[in-house]
Amino acid sequence: MTTATSAIRPPVPPFTRESAIQKVRLAEDGWNTRDPGKVALAYATDSRWRNRSEFINGRNEIIAFLSRKWSRELDYRLTKELWAFTGNRIAVRFAYEWHDDSGHWYRSYGNENWEFNDDGLMASRFASINDLPISESDRKYHWPLGRRPDDHPGLSDLGL
């Protein structure tokens, strides 16, 4: 049910393969903006997260978390891929590259389980993530900051 504090965020459940793939790409595009306020709009106002060992509740905490994240994870670029879906749930795998303020590069790999409300807002997000130090020459994501170009290889294409 739509309330004054939420909006419909298509595609909405129940998901088809095509709409699940679209939802994943929209999430990837949002995160690649590195704009915490914009990204938070895809989540229910009372969304619950587990990100690594951190538990996050609601949009205000999401915005604070993402602000901290992107102040540490510099030149962040993300690719997501659909793993599975059913009804109002989607599972994805992802990899993102970033460097710290000392210039050390990392590729972070993970899996997320998402649950959506009827309005297509993410109500729950459970993320497991591992960081792998890489050399700058091992980077695979070289597009300009922002949205991954449509012709850039995805995770499977890159062997990730």
Where are the chain's structural domains? Answer: 17-158
Residue-wise pLDDT tens digits, 34-89: 999 999 999 999 999 999 999 999 999 999 999 999 999 999 999 999 999 999 99
Q: What is the DSSP string of 144-160?
A: PSSSPPTTS--HHHHT-
17-158 CATH pick, 3.40.50.280, 3.60.150.10, 3.10.450.50, 3.40.50.300: 3.10.450.50
pLDDT at 100 > cutoff 50: yes
pLDDT at 2 > cutoff 70: no
Side-chain-side CA neighbours of 24 within 13 Å: the count stands at 26
Confidence of residue 3 (pLDDT cuts 50, 70, 90): very low
For residue 78, the one-letter residue type is L
Confidence of residue 19 (pLDDT cuts 50, 70, 90): very high
- The length of the chain in residues reads 160
